[in-house]
Structure 1
Amino acid sequence: MNRLTHRVPFEEAAVSATPYVVSDIAPLRRVIVNAPSPADYHLEVATGNFLHYNPPPVAAARQHGELERLLAASGAEVLSMERLLDEAIEEARRKGQFATWLRAALPRLAPWAGSATGATLLARAGHVQFQTDAEGVYRHIVDHRLGLAFTRDLAVMTPRGWILGNFISPSRRGEASLMRFAAEFSPSLREYPVLFDALEAGLCLVGGDLQVVDERTLLVGVGHCTDPRVAPLLARRLDMDVIAVRMRGDSTVRWKPDDSVLAHMFLHLDSCFTRVDHKLAVALPYFLEAGYAGRDPLTRFLKGLLVEPTVDAQQADAAVANLAGIGWVRRYRAGSGDVDDSCEGMKLVDLVRAWGWQVDFVGGAADALDLEHFFRVVLAEHDKQASNLVATAPGRVLAYADAPRTHAALQARGVDVQAFDGRDLWPWWGGPHCLTLPLERG
């Protein structure tokens, strides 16, 4: 039976499925990655940004190789996206379905249906790059797939099966199609049922916004890249309590290019919060605690700028309003999706502290009155994805180097921080958590 037609009723999945990912920190057993390659294509037209060209990521590929080595050394089976696509193509061809799928999903690649490989679908095969017509004029075949390095965004594995994502960004929508194709046809992914498909639901969902707390609880960042309407749907479909965390105040998500500091600070939930041990998380300070609402360093900084005649007051006001909405939580009850008011008036850090967790902060100990600490230490380490860590086991995490104060705070609590050079990866606004899609933990 094809994967995407294998939408098992929840009642069946709950009884028959072995838990695949029991928490975001359980020992990592199987994971999907997609290393940048010097052969990658670097042009895209989906957003109109057609003259933006990225140089071949030679150093990024080498640094990603170190991540893969550390993952394998932890005992995890590391699967590459290119290998999974190769498997899926072979299986789809065997079933006589590949050419049909290619014409529907990526019609400009249809002429290569007989010879396409995973590299072709990833836009790293030379014969589909820089094509020209009979007059020598460039003919665009496929956009870049650079975002696929962040495999976490494509999907999330829950205790009982997949949640498949759907991007608001036009340049990343093709990545979601490739993930669905791999999930449907790759033999290596055959055992995992699809429990929720955001594309079928007509909603946007990015895996970097989802974290499995335990077999009954799911965190979901909403309002920026993941639609708030997803949260109650997941509570009903997965029969899990869903804690929605506001990343932006919008009631829906819409495509709007945004290169602001706020967009990158709160791009996904894992941009500002990840769990590292049974009762320990690392978070961006100030913004996820109700006690700092309206008086965090960035809000006070922006309010001060409003008196400057050269500052765009409308833009600054909008940023202050966005900051006021970030971090608040709402619980949706397992099974019904009804709102549970027990979290009313709490932000995420307040909630996990109520669970008995401790929280360490990006940049180490935080002083809300110290603007210099925020700009020189917190933002500097946040830019290096200091809170975007992936656990390979409880208390054992992989991290980019160059966030020494954050790492020192974690190490003081006994966390084993294995840091590697990510200086050519972190400018893409994703860390080790984003670079990994766990399939099995526990």
Structure 2
Amino acid sequence: MEISRRGLMGGVAAGAALAAAPSFAQTGASRFLSSDIGALKTVLVHSIVPQDDGFDRLSENAVPGLESDMEVATEQQAGLIRLLKAQGAQTIEVADALAGAIAATRRSGIFETWLRTAFPGLGLDADRVTAATILGRDPAIRNRLRDDGDYRHYADTTLSTMWTRDSAFMAPAGLVMCRSASGRRRRENMLLRFCYAHSPLLKDYPIAFDALSEGISIEGGDAMFVRPDLLLLGTGNRTDPRMGPLLAKRLDCDVLTVQTYSQDFIRPDRPGLEFPVQQLRVLLLHLDTYFTQVAPGHALCVPWLLEQAHAETNPLSRFVRGARTQGMIDPEDAEKSLEMLKEFGRVKLWKRGSGTPEDLGEMKLVDYLRTQGWKFTFVGGASPEGDQAVFAHFMATVYPELRRQAANVVQARPGRVIAYAGNPMTKAALEKDGLIVDTFPARELWAWHGGPHCLTQPLLRA
């Protein structure tokens, strides 16, 4: 779980850095993808390296954390890149796009203006700054001492940039630039906006909506086009609920919001800030941690939690009530957890163009999509009969595989998905439903609460 504070935008300088960006109005509507499935042609990724385990000024830790094996994590992520390429996708690396944007803007002064705003610690020596410097990979700035003999901090870790889905996502008519509530992750938003504005590698992708300029939080893991005219949007946890009607107006599509956690707006993260039911909200962090589209009218998702019939009888609620009764968890946190689970997955439809709401009653996501003829494969496979068997199945199989990001998959070719290894029951269920599942080892990656869907930012699908 990230710990961070409100970031500063520096509107004038950021506006100058965007001066050359093609606008949605200038380019007109272009079809980049029609949904979250289809043959993946071009995808933005950020390959990590072992040196990405650096320190961050927004952290409160006395010393840098070293919980992960970065050598192993680097090789595991490389397994995803190999699968994407083997299935015909062109991968664009953030580091390469950033280098291209710097080269294109250095002489004009746009780069220096942007650098002073987005990365002020590096702005005093802009002529020497490269993509590696900004990404914290330049040996000249790593682990340096000042003249007085103490540590000098130059650049923050950019490890979380590997979750490229969160910084932006592609809509049928162009890119939606996101805005994280986390000060740390908002640097990624600014970095990617600079790249899309100026990098030759990304020049063909116009920005259709800029959440940074709007000042409302959204993360791409919560957004999923399942049809050209229907966007699913997880809200309340990392994405502001006010985004639903706003995107319905700006993107001219219906927006089905899916409640993760109930709150009116997303407050900025700050160091040391604790959230209500924090562990449960991390488990169900984004829409794509509990639901992804795998084929036309077919989704992979967590069982029970997304159906109104199980709003209070789902296995997690049974566990929380029992643990509260036996004094195993804090009573107040237990009550908030039960409130969250009761409302979790509730949907509201915002109409395209007007952004007016359509009352769907108490339906949850699976309930609504069933009315549209959808098919579902559930994490952990088919459910047994009887309350005791269901509970045991959830705790022993569904919950561990959900934690290992079993619901978080990405499609590169129709009829097959890329998933983490280590979730055999979910893999077997997908195969039984007619899908080919390509897996790669990811023990270090799933521990960071993201999956293959999070690690990819599709730009173009056939």
> Partner of 1:435 in structure 2?
455
After superposing the two structures, state which structure 1 stretch, 397-406 or 168-177, moved more: 168-177
> Partner of 1:350 in structure 2?
367
The 5 Å alignment of 1:126-205 reads 126-205=139-218
Q: What per-residue deviation string (whole Å, max 9, x for no partner) do you get for residues 211-248 of structure 1?
A: 01121111110000000001111000000100100011
The 5 Å alignment of 1:6-405 reads 6=21, 8=23, 16-54=28-66, 55=68, 57-254=70-267, 255=269, 256-258=273-275, 260-309=278-327, 311-341=329-359, 343-367=360-384, 369=387, 370-405=390-425
> Partner of 1:421 in structure 2?
441
> What SS class does the counterpart of residue 51 from structure 2 fall into?
coil
> What SS class does the counterpart of residue 48 from structure 2 fall into?
coil
Report the Cα offset of residue 60 of structure 1.
1.0
| 1:4–1:241 CA distance, 2 compared to 1 (3 A) | farther
Report the Cα offset of residue 396 of structure 1.
1.1
Identity %: 39
User: How far, CA to CA, are the matches of 1:22 and 1:95 in structure 2?
Assistant: 37
Give the aligned residue type for 2:438: Q
User: How far, CA to CA, are the matches of 2:110 and 2:135 in structure 1?
Assistant: 19
Report the Cα offset of residue 32 of structure 1.
0.6
User: How far, CA to CA, are the matches of 1:352 and 1:128 in structure 2?
Assistant: 51
After superposing the two structures, state which structure 1 stretch, 381-390 or 86-95, moved more: 86-95
Q: What per-residue deviation string (whole Å, max 9, x for no partner) do you get for residues 113-162 of structure 1?
A: 11222221111222222232111111222221111110000100101111
RMSD over equivalenced CA pairs, Å? 1.8
> What SS class does the counterpart of residue 42 from structure 2 fall into?
strand
Give the aligned residue type for 2:158: R
> What SS class does the counterpart of residue 335 from structure 2 fall into?
helix
Structure 2, unpaired ranges of 5+: 1-15
> What SS class does the counterpart of residue 133 from structure 2 fall into?
helix
1:389–1:431: 8 Å Cα contact kept in structure 2?
A: yes
1:327–1:347: 8 Å Cα contact kept in structure 2?
A: yes
Give the aligned residue type for 1:144: T
2:294–2:410: 8 Å Cα contact kept in structure 1?
A: yes
Report the Cα offset of residue 52 of structure 1.
4.2
> What SS class does the counterpart of residue 125 from structure 1 fall into?
coil
> What SS class does the counterpart of residue 107 from structure 1 fall into?
coil
> Partner of 2:7 in structure 1?
none
| TM-score normalized by the length of structure 1 | 0.95
> What SS class does the counterpart of residue 219 from structure 1 fall into?
strand
> What SS class does the counterpart of residue 231 from structure 2 fall into?
strand
Structure 1, unpaired ranges of 5+: none
Report the Cα offset of residue 175 of structure 1.
1.2
User: How far, CA to CA, are the matches of 1:56 and 1:401 in structure 2?
Assistant: 18
> What SS class does the counterpart of residue 419 from structure 2 fall into?
strand
Report the Cα offset of residue 9 of structure 1.
5.5
1:155–1:164: 8 Å Cα contact kept in structure 2?
A: yes
Q: What per-residue deviation string (whole Å, max 9, x for no partner) do you get for residues 346-383 of structure 1?
A: 11111222111111111001247222211110111112
> Partner of 2:13 in structure 1?
none
1:362–1:387: 8 Å Cα contact kept in structure 2?
A: yes
